[in-house]
Amino acid sequence: MGIGIRTIVVGPLQVNCYLVYDELNKEAMVIDPGDEPERILEYVEALRLDLKKIVCTHSHFDHIGGLPEIKASTGVKIYLHKDELSIYNASRDMAAFWGYQIDPLPKPEMIITEGDTVMAGKHLFKVIHTPGHSPGSICLYSEEGVIFTGDTLFAGSVGRTDLPGGSVEELKASFRRLMKLPDKTAVYPGHGPDSNIGYERKFNFFNREV
């Protein structure tokens, strides 16, 4: 029994929300519950998961819009990188600027940083700090061959850097770090289809920039 992964595409901006769980004991985390919290919780119930935590790869409103209701319904702790707190606290204003509305956000209880670990049952994920899209963007990497990249790395592309706190130079450094991972590492991004590091090293357009 290994890592279970269920992708749920949510909201008008088509965010990939992930339920990541231990197939043996069903202990789970939800990554980036951007919208449609009722639907996410229906999947938790249908899969009979024991939800233990909410992990935010970053805190742009399209990735955290469903967080208040999931927090209220389950009581699980919210994990967020320390450098992302200012973006998190401004995310409701950012949502309003783009014509969206999200509920008041609960305070993250678990402030994480580079090298910390997050568990889904017995499966360990290392926090890799990958600024560029936002100051506290993270990826979650398992040596079992899986990485969740948020909006740092997409299939064939990377996240934008023109939002507050974005940095092209930091994104270049983050991209170079990710390209050092094993070829077969499965990439689960914040938007769009899955990929793998080997493919991205060969074909991602951003290779020309770094």
Residue 1 has pLDDT above 80, yes or no: no
Q: What is the pLDDT of residue 98?
A: 85
- Residue 210 confidence (pLDDT) above 90: no
The helix/strand/coil state of 4 is strand
Residue type, position 28, single letter = A
Spatial separation of the C-alpha atoms in residues 176 and 166, rounded to whole Å: 17
On the 0-12 / 13-18 / 19+ scale of CB atoms within 10 A, 33 is: buried
Q: What percentage of the chain exceeds 90 in pLDDT?
A: 93
Sign of CA dihedral 171, 157, 60, 120: negative
Q: How many other β-carbons are positioned within 10 Å of the β-carbon of residue 37?
A: 22
Q: And the tokens for 8?
A: 């749920």
Query: Residue 86's pLDDT band (boundaries 50, 70, 90)?
Result: very high
Per-residue pLDDT band for 208 (boundaries 50, 70, 90) equals confident
Query: Which range, of 2-11, 32-41, 86-95, 145-154, averages the lowest pLDDT?
Result: 86-95
The pLDDT tens digits of the residues spanning 136-157 come to 999 999 999 999 999 999 999 9
The neighbour count for residue 147, using CB atoms within 10 Å, is 23
Class of domain 3-208: alpha beta
pLDDT in tens, 38-85: 999 999 999 999 999 999 999 999 999 999 999 999 999 999 999 999
| Residues 171, 177, 178, 183, Cα dihedral to 10° | 150
| Predicted local distance difference test score (pLDDT) of residue 191 | 98
- Binned at pLDDT 50, 70 and 90, residue 35 comes out as very high
| Average pLDDT of the chain to the nearest whole number | 96
Domain layout of the chain by residue ranges: 3-208
What type of residue sits at position 133? Answer: H
- CA atoms within a 13 Å half-sphere pointing along the CA-CB vector of 189: 20
- The Cα 131–Cα 167 span in angstroms is 8
**Beta pairing partners, 111:** 80
* pTM score: 0.97
pLDDT (mean) for 20-35: 98
